[in-house]
Amino acid sequence: MSGFHEISTSLGRFQVAFDAEGALIYLGFAGREYRESLRVKVARQATALDPDAGVLARLKEQLEAYAAGTRRTFDIPLRLHGTPFEQRVWAALQRIPFGETRSYGQLAAELGGSALSRAVGRANGANPISILVPCHRLVGANGSLTGYAGGLALKERLLRLEGAIKD
C-alpha cells in the first residue's frame, strides 16, 4: 500500500505512515495480516504520504531510546482518525502514566460507565498508533495480560520495561 514504510527496531519491525503535514497516522507491527483492515481504514481516512527521511529517523531513534529505557514520552506529532468514542479512548490511553496500567473496566468507568468495557476493548484494538498511544497499558480486571497486536510477549516486555510488571 503506497505511503506505508517499514522500520526495524529492537522492539521489532513496524509499518508506519504519515499524513501531508508530517503527523504520524499509523504505527503497526509488520507481518500481522489481521491488522490489514486497520491499514486500509487509515489509508482511506487520511492519505498516507512519503515522509521526510528525518521524520522516519526521529521516530526510529525515539523507539530505540524507549526500548533502552532512556525515553518515557514521545514528541512525534500524531493524528488519530477514528470515531468520536475511539478518539476518547485513545486520549484516555495517552493519560495513563508510564509505568502504570489500567483495566478495561477502569478505563470504561473513567469514560462513563463499566458497561462500556467491551467498547473500550474494541476501540483499544482499533488503535492505529501502537506504543505511542499506549494500548499495551490496558490489562484484564485481575491484572492479567490480554490481547495485544504485537503479541503478549511484547506486551509483557513493554510493561516490564516501564516498571509496571516487577520480577
| Helix, strand, coil share (%) of the chain residues, nearest 5 | 45, 15, 40
DSSP letter for each residue of 31-50: T-GGGHHHHHHHHHHS--BP
Known catalytic membership, residue 123: no
Question: pLDDT 10s per residue in the chain (167 long)?
Answer: 457 888 999 999 998 988 888 889 999 888 765 566 666 666 666 566 667 778 889 999 999 999 999 999 999 999 998 999 999 999 999 999 999 999 999 999 999 988 899 999 999 999 999 999 999 999 999 989 988 888 899 999 999 999 999 87
Place of cell 468507568: 109
DSSP letter for each residue of 90-102: HHHHHTSPTT--E
From the list 116, 129, 135, 158, the catalytic residue is 135
